[in-house]
């Protein structure tokens, strides 16, 4: 990247929430209205309505660093740029990629006007639909081994089980890596026992939403795809049967 | 709790976000407009503007179960009830208390119309202000020992450090328990070394907001109070110096 910095530009790295417009914060809606350029993965850019004066730059998955460099360059050119992620931009999304690109880009780029604006993460949206599975201490792990060795994932799963955290898993399963999630389920069954609660929250707040609550003993790898947020309870997590479906919650106290 | 269930009532357990109105989701604003009763801890109820037809029931801290029972009773009486928490209702807030009360209340209460509506958590708001400290696997721990033994907290801190999670801490320090956070810092210094990044994000998105980024070696317990969200980086978390202050981010990859 090169060139003079046009001080009129700004960059906002925002979260669009899990899908429903009613979950987009007014802060994010305001910067989308003021933007000249929206940058992101195609399906997320498609969530921003076209209008005169707005250029939408959709790019492919796994293009995060190139996309971040493009956003920095547009900002340096004086554009008002919004980088969109689903959910929250800081949770396995574009904010980290943007700062990786900024750090590599050299000191003259560090005067750019940059802000990160939070969004409702898939984890929080899934938690709300289920009840309160994250009502006590928890952890959040990306199960994709695109950017880390599978051994690191297994080690974290073991330690998370030992710590008795409730667990939220992003990117449990893709067509390219169908076997990892089966191994994760087997490891968790061994570590937590077959009665431990697990929930599959798919595409929460969209028309494709589906929720499934079961146990590690009954869970099948096919219950998850890349649009599923998987939650495994702690040893204290409970299920309340109700006419409209079960609630899942983790009590506030632990002994 | 007792009495017939009036089917006109509904209960929404919502998050008001960290403080700024621009971080309240439209979904939450809509139920607040339709409510007859708002129930919560006094400073959160005070964030909902008074209007004719709305009764605001503010209660004291540490009254969570009694407050949850009150909300269930109002709902059963046919009121349109919103239970408000700061941040997200599912993260160390009212949703877990509500389901604890619902489970104890007996089967006839389980037909109540209940929904949980997510909010921008203090953790996500702090993360956005800092950059992207949660860009890789992380955990979230409540450092208050009101509802769990201190030994459980220390054990989780040790395992979280061993897993190399970034860490977000709620309720680091209160006047009633000033010594716990000093012990947590000492444990983390031993486990992670003095160069590990730590950030103190206080009252994010309010007029009292303050941000401090330092290292475990330089951190002092007095840098936190009950309005501070504390974040400790993983071994990979980095700091970018910029004219407007440092960015803190955790790269997406791990080896």
- Residue A82 shares a structural domain with residue A140: no
* Tokens found for residue A171: 């990117």
Which pLDDT does position A2 carry in this prediction? Answer: 57
Whole-number Å distance between alpha carbons of A170 and A122: 8
Q: Looking at residue A182, which CATH number applies to its domain?
A: 3.30.950.10
Q: Does B155 touch chain A (CB under 8 A)?
A: yes
- Decide if A102 is inside a domain: yes
Q: Looking at residue A105, which CATH number applies to its domain?
A: 3.40.1010.10
Domain finish residue from A74, A104, A120? A120
- Residue A132 shares a structural domain with residue A241: yes
Whole-number Å distance between alpha carbons of A11 and A82: 6
- Decide if B255 is inside a domain: no
Which pLDDT does position B1 carry in this prediction? Answer: 59
Nearest chain A alpha carbon to B254: A148
- Residue B161 shares a structural domain with residue B239: yes
- Decide if A5 is inside a domain: no
Which chain A residues contact residue B116 at CB under 8 A? 127-129, 131-132
Instruction: Report the domain count for chain A.
Output: 2
- Residue B191 shares a structural domain with residue B141: yes
- Residue B151 shares a structural domain with residue B235: yes
Domain finish residue from A78, A93, A120? A120
CB contact at 8 A, A54 and A38: yes
Q: Does B92 touch chain A (CB under 8 A)?
A: yes
CB contact at 8 A, B103 and B95: no
pLDDT band at A4 (very low <50, low <70, confident <90, very high): confident
- Residue B216 shares a structural domain with residue B138: yes
Which pLDDT does position B4 carry in this prediction? Answer: 82
More confident residue, A204 or A7: A204
Q: Is A134 in Cβ contact with B139 (below 8 Å)? A: no
Q: Does B172 touch chain A (CB under 8 A)?
A: no
Which pLDDT does position B255 carry in this prediction? Answer: 79
- Decide if A254 is inside a domain: no
Q: Is A128 in Cβ contact with B102 (below 8 Å)? A: no
- Residue B116 shares a structural domain with residue B127: no
- Residue B104 shares a structural domain with residue B147: no
Alpha-carbon separation of residue B136 from A23, A145, A165 (angstroms):
24, 12, 17
Q: Is B120 in Cβ contact with A120 (below 8 Å)? A: yes
Which chain B residues contact residue A152 at CB under 8 A? 254-255
Tell which residue, A18, A37, A17, has the closest CA to residue A27. Answer: A17
- Residue A115 shares a structural domain with residue A127: no
Which chain B residues contact residue A160 at CB under 8 A? 139, 159, 163
- Decide if A3 is inside a domain: no
Nearest chain A alpha carbon to B154: A163
Whole-number Å distance between alpha carbons of A239 and A247: 6
Size of interface A-B (CB pairs under 8 A): 241
Whole-number Å distance between alpha carbons of A25 and A90: 15
Residues 226-245, chain B, touching A (beta carbon < 8 A): 238, 240-243
* Tokens found for residue B189: 């210094």
- Decide if A144 is inside a domain: yes
Q: Note the pLDDT tens digit of each residue in A99-111.
A: 999 999 989 999 9
| pLDDT in single tens digits along all 255 residues of chain B | 556 889 999 999 999 999 999 999 999 999 999 999 999 999 999 999 999 999 999 999 889 999 999 999 999 999 999 999 999 999 999 999 999 999 999 899 999 999 999 999 999 999 999 999 999 999 999 999 989 999 999 999 999 999 999 999 999 987 777 799 999 999 999 999 999 999 999 999 999 999 999 999 999 999 999 899 999 999 999 999 999 999 999 999 987
Of the listed ranges A3-7, A68-72, B91-95, the least confidently predicted one is A3-7
**Alpha-carbon torsion, ordered A155, A157, A159, A162, to 10 deg:** -140
Which pLDDT does position B62 carry in this prediction? Answer: 81
- Residue B55 shares a structural domain with residue B74: yes
Domain finish residue from A63, A85, A120? A120
Q: Does B247 touch chain A (CB under 8 A)?
A: yes
Q: Note the pLDDT tens digit of each residue in A191-238.
A: 999 999 999 999 999 999 999 999 999 999 999 999 999 999 999 999
- Residue A134 shares a structural domain with residue A217: yes
| Count of beta carbons in the 10 Å neighbourhood of residue A193 | 13
- Decide if A2 is inside a domain: no
- Decide if B254 is inside a domain: no
- Residue A103 shares a structural domain with residue A172: no
Can you give the residue range of the structural domain that contains B26? 10-120
Whole-number Å distance between alpha carbons of B8 and B78: 5
Nearest chain B alpha carbon to A20: B27
Which pLDDT does position B45 carry in this prediction? Answer: 98
Q: Is A135 in Cβ contact with B137 (below 8 Å)? A: no
* Per-state percent for chain A, helix, strand, coil, to nearest 5: 35, 25, 40
């Amino acid at each position: 990247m090169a060139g003079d910095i046009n001080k009129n530009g700004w960059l906002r790295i925002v979260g669009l929430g899990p899908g429903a417009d009613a979950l987009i914060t007014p802060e994010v809606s305001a910067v989308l209205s003021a933007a000249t350029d929206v940058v992101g993965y195609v399906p997320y850019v498609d969530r921003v309505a076209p209008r005169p004066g707005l250029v939408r730059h959709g790019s492919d998955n796994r293009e995060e660093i190139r996309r971040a460099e493009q956003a920095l360059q547009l900002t340096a050119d004086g554009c008002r740029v919004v980088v969109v992620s689903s959910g929250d931009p800081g949770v396995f999304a574009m904010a980290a990629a943007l700062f990786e690109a900024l750090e590599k880009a050299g000191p003259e780029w560090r005067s750019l006007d940059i802000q990160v604006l939070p969004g409702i993460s898939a984890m929080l949206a899934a938690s709300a639909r289920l009840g309160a599975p994250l009502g006590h201490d928890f952890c959040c792990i990306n199960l994709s081994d695109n950017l880390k060795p599978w051994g690191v994932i297994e080690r974290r799963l073991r330690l998370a089980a030992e710590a008795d955290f409730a667990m939220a898993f992003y990117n449990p399963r893709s067509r390219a890596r169908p076997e990892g999630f089966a191994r994760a389920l087997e490891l968790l069954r061994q570590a937590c026992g077959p009665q431990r609660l697990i929930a599959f929250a798919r595409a929460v707040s969209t028309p494709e939403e589906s929720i499934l609550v079961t146990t590690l003993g009954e869970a099948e790898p096919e219950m998850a795809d890349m649009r599923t947020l998987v939650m495994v309870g702690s040893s204290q997590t409970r299920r309340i049967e109700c006419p409209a479906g079960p609630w899942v919650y983790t009590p506030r106290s632990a002994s």
